[in-house]
Amino acid sequence: MYSVTIIGNVERCRTEAEISVSEGAVFAVVYETLDGWHTDTLVEQLSQAATDFQTAVENAKESLSHYVNRRGENPPENVSWGAFSLWLMVKDDGTAMGMNMKSGPNS
Q: What is the pLDDT of residues 36-88, one digit of tens each?
A: 999 999 887 667 668 888 999 999 999 999 999 999 999 999 999 999 999 99
The pLDDT value recorded for residue 103 is 63
Query: For the segment 8-46, what is each residue's pLDDT rounded down to a tens digit?
Result: 999 999 999 999 986 678 999 999 999 999 999 988 766
CB atoms within 10 A of CB 72: 20
Helix/strand/coil for 63:
helix
Alpha-carbon distances, residue 43 vs 16, 26, 90 (angstroms)? 17, 8, 29
Taking the model in full, what pTM does it have? 0.86
